A and B are shown apart, each in its own frame.
Chain A
Amino acid sequence: MINLLLIFALCWPLCVALAGVWQAYRAPASQRRYLSWWWVSAAWPSFLLAYAGEAQWVIDIWMLGGQWSLDALSRPWLAFTTLLWSFAAVHARGYLAKEQAKAQVGDSSAERRLLRLTLLWPLTLLGNVLLIIAQDIASFYLGFALMTFAAYALVVHTGTDEAKLGARAYLIMAVLGEGLILGGLLWAAGVAQSVLLEGVREGIASAEHGALMAALLWLGLGVKAGVIGLHVWLPLAHPAAPAPASAVLSGAMIKAGLLGWLYVLPLGETSLSPELTRLGEIMLIAGLAAAFGAALYGVWQRHPKAVLAYSSISQMGMLTAMVAMGLAAPEVWPLLLPGVVLFAAHHALAKGALFMGTSISEHLPRWPTALVWVLLALPAVSLTGAFGAGMISKWTVKSALYEMHHESLITLLTWAAIGTSALVSVSLWRQWQQRHAGGSHAAQWGAWLAALTAALVTPLWLPLPEGSVALPPLKEWISLMWPLPVGVMAVWLGGWLTRHLRIGIPPAGDLWWLYAWLAQNVLVAIRGVGQWCNGIKAASVNATLAIEKRVMGRLTQLTAVESWMRHHTSGLMMALAVVLALLLIWEGA
């Protein structure tokens, strides 16, 4: 039964994508329904699969040998990922309803964009599902690559200049990341002689250069997970992508990088080499730097989605720091893992709801204003950890850290929550400034409300192992809640202080512009070297040709001698005969 469900879950997105294309070629433009309910349902079978229980599959004929499984880690991951994909699909149906109407009256560019989305959205989803259930390297890499490259269409959807820039940044970083991942996987798998992710883990834990392999994989997967320095695509791509696409990018796909770390890094293994511990410490520092740096930079952004993108970087920084603990302090990892999963799941849904919320504030439904804004603020408050599932997820993480006495990290994470509060309040404030009335599509607000609700009650539906999640005791509530008012106050104070100063808005994408400048200069230099090499080549060819000419000149002179000889043939023959005769005489004598 579960086998059938697996096949169905993997084939359904493909069928949906193909059916979309098929009808686009068959039906006349006015009858085409791009984002049909079939299309929306692409993620549903996978969601069911997450609740179908644990299972394992071994498929020998699949690439290098396939092994897929549903276990304590992949089941909750699959559940929250596919749930978010489902909500985002419904949201997209509403969000793009106008575009669809345009396409039906013959706007060919709208038609083209929708067709692209119809095809590549389910493929992106398929890649995401595959990489979650994969336990062998090839399937994981396939899922990751499929998701990465198909998502290009999601980012570039609107086709504006910003979208093109965002998509370019996304693609360049993705290619870079794929290269690093391939290098790390090859190295670790070659040493471990295995085609399974488990083998990679063991290889890294036991090999001499394990830390280097781990670093490659950390950075390669970190492109997706927004590790500081590699995060530059996020604030460029998110504001430009449509809201539902941003929701899955920030909610589900970013988490794929995190899941990759959980799959390939030897987290929680005892007796790790000192280098791996050092790497853990570096990851910890990088994570915290991202958590704080993104907050400090993000609050100055004008576009609410750019602010939210920085919030994602900040949240992923916290998750990076937690994963780093698995290397730096392995004994805490078994306690920390459920917290990490819950944190990731909650962030996925909450961030999804927030991104969908940006489209709600652009088309405010005709509801009481206060109600809408309270609803818009709910996931934000939950994300800061002051309320709902956010509070529980924060507590799950903290209690694990308390137990192993990592109080300083707890303090830092709490301070990072101030940053989160600041970011989400700036985002809401920007949304308020840029709000538009006009009513939104039922699918649009319906999906948003559903995602919001799911985010607030994450622990209720997430298939986590029993007993891994608990409500925080009352006395801890204050320690979890205080970052929210402090963050809001900080924003208010900062806004008040800088109101009279003319502060330019720093561009979204921060380091991207530095990288672009560097790359441009390097390219100019390379081109210069190339021209110089060309010059040398041309010079050497010319020199050789000149030599050839000179040699040929000499040879031509020789032909002149020949023609002289031809002229004096009889004389020469006579002379030769005489010489021969003389020789004979001399020989005879």
Chain B
Amino acid sequence: MNAAWLPLTAIAASLLAAVIIFTLPEDARRLRTNINLLAAVIKITLVALMVRRVVQGDEAIFSFQIVGSIDFVLRADALGVMFAGLSSVLWLCTTVYAIGYLEGTANRKRFFGFFSLCVASTLGIALAGNLFTFLIFYEMLTLSTYPLVVHSGTDKALKAGRVYLRYTLTAGVVLLFGVVLLYSFTSEHSFASERGLGDYLGDHRTLLTFIFALLVGGFAVKAAMVPLHGWLPRAMVAPAPVSALLHAVAVVKAGAFGILRIIYDLYGIELSVELGVTTALAVAACITIIYGSLRAIAQQELKPRLAFSTISQVSYIVLGVSLFGPFGTIGALAHLLHQGLMKVTLFFCAGIYAEELGIHRIDEMNGAGKRMPLTSLAFTIGALGMIGLPPVAGFITKWYLGIGAIQAEMYWVVAVLVASSTLNAIYFLPIVHRLWFRVGPAHGHGTWPNEQRLGRLETHGWLLWPTVFTAVISLAAGLLAGLPFSPLDWATRVAVGEYLQ
């Protein structure tokens, strides 16, 4: 039995939630919250079932013929389930957080509706079984995130939204062109093919390289690789939960995940190496890593600094993919999860600081550790993880990427990794220092920009607990990386599958 209902219901859960939320009146707050949480929990359960099936060596597949030989395929393979798991767990956290964050603001119906749509499309991207299906959900993601980016409706937000659309829709066109071109001469677009596109290498070498460039170029816009990253820092005007989701799971990860799919499941890693495109990709990723870090240092506001950090960190995934060998792959896949966990923590914290204390600039953060110890602790864990210090999860991926680079005999990549660690330290440690070692308003020096007492604890519980949860998970993912079903374990499972093929 191939359990076709499983991937379909998982996506339907979020879609249905979106539809119901759109039909509810704006002030049905409690019902909306319940539906949101229920859908998130259902989704996690369904993804857990898919995980169990994958462990048993059986993939849930849903397939539906659209026209001719073009199928709509959902397939819960190990890689897809990994991304689906990340998106469903973080969706739950972000939903809880968003409910707390948007408490008492306008247009929450619109927000949560598109939020659910956005997650449905992310899940679709994760489970898409061929390039056609992937493309559908990919474009759906673009459109469903636009209302979230411009949620506040200010001029700045609208402008950022325009820039976002300009980038992503252009990329969509390029992508579509690549897909059509590929399909027209190979009639191949499934991610499940055993051989990849190796058969076409002899006759169509140049064309294959060109199509690769089109596809990866298209995905690189969402993955925010330099020089296609311009939209990401601007999109920081979005509310904190959106930034968190955008950075950790949905948009940038969708781009990185697309590149993963292209290399591992469409072209096949051997063919990609044969074409020589992986080296070019590695160089591009390294440039992005260094450039993002350098720009991050120059930022004086918290969210833009985190944004440039994302640009840098997501390219770790691309870098890992482009290193031929199991370690690079494991590093890339594990970083997909680890970066998500750590970045979502950091953005949650940034949001809490902004809501509770009105902090936007880094120099306003002095002594915030005393006023908000748990939030600041979570931020510290996330920051240390981004630097790649043990025992946080970031160390594990950095380690695997480094080993992967050595084994692929690309020694300069190690230098890039070390440089990036140092640069990360340069822009994260001063923040941590400000939090814990400087005196600020909490010690009676000056006042917070806009302090509010949102909750009985240091802030509203709906904001605090998801943050603490993701911080703990980031720590555990590094400290207990050897446990079964840890991100590292799952990444190893996927990588073994890729290389044994």
Contact = CB atoms under 8 A, between A and B. Distances in A.
A62 B390 contact: no
Interface in B463-491: 478-483
Contacts of B478: 63
Contact of B390 (A61, A141, A175): A141
Contact of A149 (B327, B389, B443): B389
Contacts of A449: none
A112 interface: yes
B415 A62 contact: no
Interface in A107-147: 108-109, 112, 116, 138, 141-142, 145
A183 B415 contact: yes
Given A108-B443, A176-B422, A179-B422, A60 B415 contact: no
Given A109-B439, A190-B405, A191-B406, A138 B390 contact: yes
Contacts, number: 96
Given A63-B395, A138-B395, 18 more contacts: A61-B482, A63-B396, A63-B478, A63-B481, A109-B443, A112-B370, A149-B389, A171-B429, A175-B425, A178-B421, A186-B405, A186-B418, A190-B403, A190-B405, A190-B406, A190-B414, A193-B403, A530-B298
6 contacts: A63-B396, A64-B482, A65-B482, A112-B439, A179-B422, A182-B402
A183 B411 CA distance: 10
B235 interface: no
Interface string A47-89: 0000000000001111111100000000000000000000000
A189 B403 contact: yes
A62 B399 contact: no
A151 to B, nearest CB: 13
B407 interface: yes
A156 interface: yes
Contacts of A193: 403, 407
A186 B403 contact: yes
A189 B482 CA distance: 18
B326 to A, nearest CB: 11
A62 B421 contact: no
A108 B367 CA distance: 13
Nearest to B486: A61
Given A60-B482, A62-B479, A112 B443 contact: yes
B200 interface: no
Interface residues of A, number: 35
Contacts of B407: 190, 193
B417 A63 contact: no
Contact of B414 (A59, A65, A153, A186): A186
The 8 closest A-B pairs by CB, nearest first: A190-B406, A186-B402, A142-B390, A61-B482, A190-B403, A183-B418, A179-B422, A179-B418
Contacts of A530: 298
A189 B405 CA distance: 12
B56 to A, nearest CB: 23
Contacts of B425: 175, 178
Nearest to A182: B418
B375 to A, nearest CB: 15
B399 A64 contact: yes
A63 B396 CA distance: 7
Contacts of B480: 61-63
B444 interface: yes
A179 B426 CA distance: 12
A61 B486 CA distance: 10
Contacts of B411: 187
B391 interface: yes
A109 B437 CA distance: 11
Nearest to A190: B406
B443 A138 contact: no
B388 interface: yes
A108 B444 contact: yes
A189 B419 CA distance: 19
